[in-house]
Amino acid sequence: MGLKLQNVSKNFVGKLAVDNISFELEKPGVFGLLGTNGAGKTTTIRMLLGIIKKDKGEITWNGKAVERKNVNFGYLPEERGVYPKVKIFDQLMYFAELKGMKRKDAQGAIEKWAKVLKVEEYLYVPAEKLSKGNQQKIQFMTAIIHDPELIVLDEPFSGLDPVNSEILKNIIIDLVKNGKYIIMSSHQMASIEEFCSDIVILNKGKTVLKGNLKEIKESYRANRVLLSTDVNVEKDIKDLQMEIEFTKNNEYIIKIQDEESAHQLLKNLIQKNIVVNKFEIQKPTLNDIFIEKVGD
């Protein structure tokens, strides 16, 4: 059950935009679709939603082809857009009705979400009078107003301030709790790490990494040590042939080859009676993994 993409490809005038991609969302949750600009994320999403036709492969939702009539989906496109001259309420109602909602239900849903997203005061104002961030919240509302099962969010956090990002995060968490399948594409690795259980990383149309985020991270060896001391210990670090990535006020980020060398460093410092305020051996972040996989 859930969403399944099998060997999906798309060619644009001689250029392979998406090359044989497969992934699956078996249970509710947030799936991360990562990749550099032009990696094929938006093309994958557009094929997924049937906006453009795929050349090859199969995309199914609960075993059926993904089409408007088979799947109740919501979509926040990367290209943000609203009707500039139309009042917010009218455009929300328009899309809700197109998605098959009754006027009365739509009205209730609009009022509810406007409250959650804190845009109640703008409901009867033309969209052009709203700030970009608020317009984005309106578009997010069009994506979820009809209570879809499958939600595709293309860069949902870009352009939002921390307060609004927080509101959006909480909504996404709630949506997952309510059993929604969410596909999220983002450049902000922190937000992906926060939400996503499974990810796929695309590069130039190809899958370069795929799987459960936690398992992926565990498969990587520790590569950094975070150290904070009372005195300057630069010499001790360099004695062990270790590379300092960053230092400030006796705080260090040290690159390590293996955990052994890190333990040796800690031992040395303790022997010298140097006060160690913080010592943390770190696994690579998603950011590191991403750069390693797609950076040339």
Whose Cβ is closer to other proteins: residue 41's or residue 224's? Answer: 41
- Binding residue for other proteins, selected from 27, 68, 214, 272, defined by CB under 8 A: 68
Least distance from other proteins to the Cβ atom of residue 55, Å: 6
Closer residue to other proteins (CB): 135 or 191: 135
Beta strands in the chain (DSSP E): 3-12, 15-25, 29-35, 56-61, 64-65, 73-76, 150-154, 181-185, 196-203, 206-212, 224-229, 243-248, 251-255, 276-282
Among 23, 31, 61, 73, binds other proteins (CB under 8 A): 73
31 binds other proteins (CB under 8 A): no
- Region near other proteins per CB under 8 A, out of 73-81, 179-187, 241-249, 274-282: 73-81
Cα 78 from Cα 101, distance rounded (Å)? 24
- In the bound state with other proteins, the residue whose beta carbon lies nearer, of 43 and 164, is 43
Stretch that binds other proteins, among 31-39, 76-84, 195-203, 282-290 (CB under 8 A): 76-84
Among 16, 29, 57, 80, binds other proteins (CB under 8 A): 80
For 251-284, letters b (16+ CB in 10 Å) and e give ebebebeeeeebeebeeebeeeeeeeeebebeeb
Nearer to other proteins, 85 or 104 (CB): 85
Answer for the pair 151, 74: CB distance below 8 angstroms, yes or no.
yes
Residue 14 binds to other proteins (criterion: CB under 8 A): no
- In contact, 35 and 189? CB cutoff 8 Å: no
Residue 240 Cα distances to 228, 229, 254, 283, angstroms: 17, 17, 11, 20
* Residue 276 Cα to chain centre, angstroms: 36
Distance of CA 234 to the CA centre of its chain: 37
| Shortest Cβ 97–other proteins spacing (Å) | 5
Q: Could you say whether residue 138 binds other proteins (CB under 8 A)?
A: no
- Please report, as ranges, the residues that interact with other proteins according to CB under 8 A: 11, 46, 49-53, 55, 68, 73, 75, 77, 79-86, 90, 94-95, 97-100, 139, 142-143
